[in-house]
Amino acid sequence: MSLAKRAAVVTGSTSGIGLAYARALAAEGANVVINGFGDKDAIEKERAGIEKDFGVKCLYDGADMSKPAEIAAMIGNAEKALGSVDVLVNNAGIQFVSPVEDFPIEKWDQIIAINLSSAFHTIRAAAPGMKARKWGRIINTASAHSLVASPFKSAYVSAKHGIAGLTKTVALEVATFGVTVNCISPGYVWTPLVEKQIPDTMKARNMTKEQVMNDVLLAAQPTKQFVTVEQVAALAIFLCSDAAANITGANISMDGGWTAA
Ligand code: NAD
């Protein structure tokens, strides 16, 4: 129970990778705030399940990661309810696939807000407490798309390259305060986010579902396997450990060899 008495906030944790982070942090004894959208009853089931399975406090905050005031309130409320925010995982993210000339302006703005700016707003609110307590872990879910591009994902690739830069910058600013800041860059992880982009990619590339899965998604991944949410969460737990105290400003790939090619 390496994180007993620590408190964690995980954005975008009602589904996919975020939910796996929240459960893994709770398994290490941390109290957690989960966040994200979805069916009210399903979210309550996940929240109560975390409390029951791991014997920790788990709160739900429905803050919209495209709204700076809601983000600041979420961090403030977490500090009040749990005493601190020691681990901050910026994970909320959406995708939209379209040729750049047809890319809807509001989709561009939304992706930059949720996938990039939300991390600025959470960090801005949580960093003072971490610095004052001389301990903190900030983990940003970037992507292989923080290092390389794919066509038709202009906003997503731009946001993910941005979050890699934000990670490095903040890591330097808090380096002497016992606070580390890193990003994890998964390749394709089998989650609803990946599943949902298949129809648009089929349209943009004029392909069948099987062709998109094998020739677009797993084509990039030399292992020919999707990364699992549990593998990503296990790396986050390592980054929270004392053994990882000197890993900061890093962009750690977990992409089945994608960016080695
Ligand atoms: P997902 O769709 O399963 O989960 C996304 C989460 O973000 C959900 O909880 C959703 O409710 C939440 N969310 C969306 N918009 C929000 C908003 N405005 N405010 C608050 N919450 C919001 O997706 P996932 O695959 O688990 O993705 C999680 C993160 O991992 C994203 O940042 C994504 O870019 C990144 N990522 C995913 C993959 C992959 O292959 N799945 C690969 C690399 C990086």
Catalytic annotation, pick one of 21, 60, 156, 188: 156
Which helix H or strand E contains 250, and what residues bound it? none
- The identity of residue 142, as a single letter, is A
Asked whether residue 135 falls in the same domain as residue 206, the answer is: no
Asked whether residue 116 falls in the same domain as residue 162, the answer is: yes
* Distance from Cα 159 to the centre of ligand 1, integer Å: 13
pTM over 0.85: yes
Asked whether residue 121 falls in the same domain as residue 206, the answer is: no
Asked whether residue 47 falls in the same domain as residue 143, the answer is: yes
Closest-CA residue, ligand 1 atom 6, reads: 12
In contact, 33 and 61? CB cutoff 8 Å: yes
CA distances from 235 to 18, 195, 256 (A): 13, 23, 14
Asked whether residue 127 falls in the same domain as residue 194, the answer is: no
Asked whether residue 183 falls in the same domain as residue 217, the answer is: no
3-state helix, strand, coil in the chain (%, to 5): 55, 15, 30
In a domain, 255, yes or no: yes
Note the Cα 193 to chain centre separation in Å: 12
Stretch 49-53: mean pLDDT: 98
Asked whether residue 118 falls in the same domain as residue 208, the answer is: no
Of 40, 61, 90, 91, the one to substitute when testing ligand 1's pocket (max ligand atoms within 8 A of C-beta) is 91
Tell me the per-residue pLDDT of 186-225, one tens digit each, with 9 for 90 and over: 999 988 878 888 899 999 999 999 899 888 889 889 998 9
Asked whether residue 234 falls in the same domain as residue 209, the answer is: no
Check pLDDT > 80 for residue 1: no
| Residue 156 annotated as catalytic | yes
Give ligand 1 pocket residues (Cβ under 6 A): 12-18, 35-38, 64-66, 91-94, 114-115, 141, 143, 186, 188-189, 191-194
Asked whether residue 120 falls in the same domain as residue 220, the answer is: no
Indicate the number of domains in the chain: 2
In a domain, 1, yes or no: no
Cα angle at 59 between 58 and 61, to 5 degrees? 145
Secondary structure (3-state) at 224: coil
Mean pLDDT computed over every residue of the chain: 96
Task: Give residues with Cβ within 8 angstroms of 189, minimum separation 6.
Answer: 16, 17, 226, 227, 228, 229, 232
Asked whether residue 87 falls in the same domain as residue 162, the answer is: yes
Residue-range definition of the domain harbouring residue 203: 190-225
Asked whether residue 141 falls in the same domain as residue 195, the answer is: no
Tell me the per-residue pLDDT of 52-99, one tens digit each, with 9 for 90 and over: 999 999 999 999 999 999 999 999 999 999 999 999 999 999 999 999
In a domain, 2, yes or no: no
In contact, 35 and 13? CB cutoff 8 Å: yes
Asked whether residue 231 falls in the same domain as residue 221, the answer is: no
Walk across the sheet containing 7-10 and list its strands. Answer: 58-61, 31-35, 7-10, 87-90, 136-141, 179-186, 251-254
* Distance from Cα 223 to the centre of ligand 1, integer Å: 23
Closest-CA residue, ligand 1 atom 44, reads: 143
Check pLDDT > 80 for residue 163: yes
d(C-alpha 60, C-alpha 46), whole Å: 10
- Relative to the CA of 110, which ligand 1 atom is closest? 18
* Distance from Cα 194 to the centre of ligand 1, integer Å: 9
d(C-alpha 88, C-alpha 111), whole Å: 20
**CATH value at residue 79:** 3.40.50.720
